[in-house]
Amino acid sequence: MENELLELREKLGEISDLESSLALLSWDQQTYMPPKGAAARGRQQATISALAHQMLTSPEMGERLQRLHESRDELSDDDRALVDVAFYDYKRTACLPGDFIVELTLAQSSGYEAWVAARKNIDFPSFLPCLEKLIDLAKRKAEYHGYEGSPYNALLEDFERGMTAEQLDSIFGELSLRQSNLVGKITASSNQPDTTWLDRNWPEQSQLDFTLLLLRDMGFDFDAGRQDLAQHPFTTSFSLHDVRLTTRTSRNDLFSCLTGSIHEGGHGLYEQGFHESDARTPLAKCASLGIHESQARAWENIIGRSLPFWRHYAPLFLKHLDSDPAKISADQIFRAINHVRPSLVRVEADECTYNLHIILRYEIERALLEGKMAAGEIPEAWNARMKELLDIEVPDDASGCLQDIHWSVGLFGYFPTYALGNLYAAQMFEQIEKDLPNLWTEVEAGQFDGLLGWLRRNVHLHGRRKLAPRIIYDSTGSEPSSKAYLRYIEAKYGKLYNL
């Protein structure tokens, strides 16, 4: 058995090496690759990805995992965790037939092309056949995986294992009502922030320089990672000692680079925080996308959009930007960076409206998967729900149901993880405030060691040893819910808008 374990670790290590190389191919593609490099890059990715898939789903791998799994009670805790996760990955991947994967890959590729064109030409009908095909494939995928309750559960599991559509209904139900209600009150409030001072050009290099200082304060290890520019910010890693953040700057948006960098920094701290001894194994990965997002949102919103944070950083930030700290106060920035404005586009949504965009998508994709809505009905359903939730008229599908890439590449069940990230973060922070009574004094001093230590112990170090609901329960004493989050936004924005 000792030998079986050694060989398993060796093979999983090789798979991890291939995945890391794939991540580098993709990072380079989005940061430094010259435009004409794209075609060859696609083939390189396909080759490495196929090799990793072959290794993971090989009969030897399956048989070895089967044998080890049968003896799992005799294994050490670490070995058992590894065998469980690897066996799960094996079964999850091997149950999809090869020709189904080919069909899916082709449909994703045509879906993406059709979506790009449809969005450009504001022509949903031209995208519809591809979308229908992708929904059909998603349903078939759910059948291959098997599920209890809704077929949506089979898809959700790829991104948020341990969570179910039934739980989401109960979590999102109260959330959508109360959050929508709060947004309505905010919009109607006469106490709106002054944001006219934001309307100028802000030096881009200075924005960038400031994010480096901030990421260092947060605890991001620049000897084990870096930040580069990319068109669409993302975080990736090639090992826990090599984590790559990306960001972008905008001359006339003071906050987008800053909040983007803090967000990716939160992701990056998670990736730098796995257990050293889990390196090169599938345990050194996130518990779920919702947990990953919670780390990003905690830093971006709960910390980075807080008044104590700005009491410390306002003068530093303004000095970097060659602005006079005497003329712009921490409070002024705090109000402006928390400006709530219902808007059409998810990725531009503020903290207070964001979840509503997600709930809308979740409702639609779930109805599609359960056969309760036809793909052709999406635009109407989308626009009606935007009106209900955010009181917004959608002028056209490009800024409506065609705005996101996800469905075009067959990603159904992914959206809820964005909202769960917000909820998990708020739930953790209620506990963190209890566990670390000096939290906000430390934040106001630009010190985050205590906070990072809490996240390391309760989230990062576990890697995939616990599922998301378990991480939440063990660290906060409650099941995932929207309660803490609602308390958080109602308190914060009630005060900000004098409600």
Under the rule (CB under 8 A), what is the footprint of its own copies?
A: 13-14, 17-18, 20-21, 24-25, 28, 32-37, 39-41, 43-44, 46-48, 51, 221-226, 228, 238-239, 241-242, 279-280
Among residues 471, 109, 96, 57, the alpha carbon closest in space to that of 294 is found at 471
CA atoms within 13 A on the CB side of 488: 25
Determine contact, residues 430/476, Cβ cutoff 8 Å: yes
CA 12 – CA 64 distance, rounded (Å): 12
- The 8-class DSSP code of residue 401 comes to T
Give the nearest distance from C-beta 220 to its own copies in angstroms.
Answer: 11
Q: Closer CB to its own copies, residue 13 or residue 146?
A: 13
CA 7 – CA 62 distance, rounded (Å): 13
Among residues 161, 139, 159, the alpha carbon closest in space to that of 151 is found at 139
DSSP reduced 3-state for 244 = strand
Determine contact, residues 394/381, Cβ cutoff 8 Å: no
Give the nearest distance from C-beta 8 to its own copies in angstroms.
Answer: 15
Q: For Cα atoms 295, 349, 306, give the angle at the middle one, nearest 5 degrees.
A: 50
The catalytically annotated residue of 264, 293, 300, 363 is 264
Span between the terminal Cα atoms of the chain, in Å: 64
CA 472 – CA 428 distance, rounded (Å): 7
CA 166 – CA 147 distance, rounded (Å): 12
Give the nearest distance from C-beta 224 to its own copies in angstroms.
Answer: 4
Give catalytic status of residue 300 as yes or no: no
Residues 6+ apart with CB under 8 A from 203: 251, 321, 322
Give the nearest distance from C-beta 25 to its own copies in angstroms.
Answer: 6
User: What residue type is 97 in one-letter code?
Assistant: P
CA 34 – CA 42 distance, rounded (Å): 13
Give the nearest distance from C-beta 33 to its own copies in angstroms.
Answer: 6
Among residues 310, 329, 31, 294, the alpha carbon closest in space to that of 197 is found at 329
Q: Closer CB to its own copies, residue 28 or residue 78?
A: 28
Q: Closer CB to its own copies, residue 28 or residue 123?
A: 28
Q: Closer CB to its own copies, residue 77 or residue 223?
A: 223
Strand partners, 243: 225, 237
Give the nearest distance from C-beta 43 to its own copies in angstroms.
Answer: 6
Strand partners, 357: none
Give the β-pairing of 235-239 and 225-229. Answer: unpaired
Phi, psi of 293 (to 5 degrees): -65, -35
Strand partners, 242: 239
Give the nearest distance from C-beta 222 to its own copies in angstroms.
Answer: 7
Q: Which residues are catalytic?
A: 264
